[in-house]
Amino acid sequence: MRKAEAELLASFEQALAAGQLHMAYQPKVAVKDGSLVRVEALVRWDDPMLGAVEPARFVPLAEQHGLIDDLTQWGLRRILGQWLKWRDEGIDTCIAFNISALSLQSLDFPDLVERMCRALEVPTDRLVLELTEGATQPLIKLMDTLTRFRIKGIGLAIDDFGTGYSSLMQLRQLPFTEVKIDQSFVADIERSRDCRLIIQSITELAHGLGLTATAEGVETMHQLRLVRELGCDVVQGYLISPPLEPRALKGWKAKFRRAWPAMIAEEKLALWGDIESDALSEGQV
Ligand code: C2E
Ligand code: CA
Ligand code: CA
């Protein structure tokens, strides 16, 4: 391990033990009416010396050096506690939680999650686990564990779908409830006919298998309207909201309800025609 990496790891271990991590929550809304369907919990680490460290830097480090189960369990406790606080404020939403495939390797893990939910009286169907396929952690090997989660009523989303190692076969074989289309397709949706075709195909496939199709990384109104036309059910991204501190969710919800009609009030888009020039005239490419 390089010196810089070893130092980062030591600081992370300290931050985890000292309770210096926190969660931000990014809203995901239904395309049909803009209602809040769930929030995705995203871990945050603001170190006094290092500043904000991105999860893309410290999550892989935690995976490689035996700290991922501690991070997962800390995260679960945190989000279940947060769910209770929101419920007391009158917000009954679902929480999506990113989970490393490494944490799923123990067959007992679904029981542990269920016990944690039961101890706090959080219904298991308010929890969705988001999983990403990795080179060394094929999801198909986790079939039994994933099935156990579904039996307990916990939702399962396949994250970053369409890139990396995720495959169509897994959608059919594994008990997912949601497909999250990778942000890269949404980022290029205006420029690339191929991306539009990929989003449409994944969405149709998801619907054929009874799954929800979510578009991630929606940043502009134009992208929102396009993913809507292509049939996506749920949207998430900076246009809807950046990840929020928990106390900001209630205010966001009220504000977003008022903003939504204007976001989608637009005539039908020419999806396969002269879309590039549409985007140009909106100044978005
Ligand atoms: P992800 O699960 O794909 O999360 C989406 C990432 O996209 C988040 O980055 C989010 O802040 C960012 N994002 C949201 N909306 C937009 C948008 O409109 N445009 C763009 N360009 N980006 C957007 P973040 O928070 O840095 O997380 C990065 C990754 O770290 C996550 O990717 C997830 O794989 C992992 N991660 C985050 N929190 C946890 C955690 O608690 N546990 C584990 N195991 N992994 C986590
Ligand atoms: Ca995710
Ligand atoms: Ca993702």
Cα–Cα distance measured from residue 30 to residue 212, given in angstroms and rounded to the nearest whole number: 10
Give the pLDDT of residue 206. 95
Q: Which two tokens stand for residue 220?
A: 């502009």
CA 201 to the chain's CA centroid: 20
40 alpha carbon to ligand 2 midpoint, in Å? Answer: 7
| Ligand 1 pocket member 59 (CB < 6 A) | yes
What is the rounded CA–CA span in Å between residue 19 and residue 273? Answer: 53
Cα–ligand 2 centroid distance for 271 (angstroms): 28
Cβ 27 under 6 angstroms from ligand 1: no
pLDDT tens-digit map of 25-68: 999 999 999 999 999 999 999 999 899 999 999 999 999 999 99
What confidence score (pLDDT) does residue 270 get? 66
Bridge-based pairing state of the strands 212-215 and 155-161: unpaired
Dihedral sign from CA coordinates of 233, 194, 161, 39: negative
The SS3 assignment for 230 reads: coil
DSSP structure string for 35-104:
-EEEEEEEEEEEETTTEEE-HHHHHHHHHHTT-HHHHHHHHHHHHHHHHHHHHHTT---EEEEE--GGGG
pLDDT at 101: 87
In angstroms, what CA-CA distances link 238 with 169, 220, 244? 31, 8, 11
For residue 238 and ligand 1, the question of a CB distance below 6 A is answered with yes
pLDDT tens across the length of the chain (285 residues): 788 889 999 999 999 999 999 999 999 999 999 999 999 999 999 999 899 999 999 999 999 999 999 999 999 999 999 999 999 999 999 999 999 988 888 888 999 999 999 999 999 999 999 998 876 678 888 899 999 999 999 999 999 998 877 778 888 889 999 999 999 999 999 999 999 999 999 999 999 999 999 999 999 999 999 999 999 999 999 999 999 999 999 999 999 999 999 998 866 666 666 444 444 444 443
User: What pLDDT sits at residue 103?
Assistant: 87
In order of their start, the domains of the chain are 3-281 (3.20.20.450)
Query: From the CA of 189, how far away is ligand 2's center (Å)?
Result: 20
* C-beta of 63 in contact with ligand 1 (< 6 A): no
Burial (CB count <10 Å: 0-12, 13-18, 19+), residue 43: buried
- State the pLDDT at residue 268: 61
